Amino acid sequence: GAGVSQSPSNKVTEKGKDVELRCDPISGHTALYWYRQSLGQGLEFLIYFQGNSAPDKSGLPSDRFSAERTGGSVSTLTIQRTQQEDSAVYLCASSPNGGGRETQYFGPGTRLLVL
């Protein structure tokens, strides 16, 4: 079946603008994760959604970052008033139930460049 999809694949924006990044998880997966990866770095956790539970927002770096997941499926990560340090690859992953020892399946990522 189809994997995790993300859009856009690339985004160039000017400092101070808002951006929205979209993630469509694998059908039937109830858990959805957002990470970001700066150049040459590991993945940094941002936010986690599991079913109808309150999301784990503990990884969001500032209040400029927010995310929604509507209908338990598609998720949107919004970055307001973008800064140059927000430039990174934003990766979305999903897993079947959000339980322990589950494989997280990653999408292709959105490469964000803030000028």
15 versus 98: smaller Cβ distance to another protein: 98
Amino acid at 9: S
By the 10 Å C-beta count (0-12 exposed, 13-18 middle, 19+ buried), 85 is classed as: exposed
Among 16, 28, 45, 51, binds another protein (CB under 8 A): 45
Residue 46 C-beta: closest distance to another protein, Å: 9
* Residues in touch with another protein (CB under 8 A): 31, 33, 35, 40-45, 48, 50, 56, 59, 91, 95, 98-109
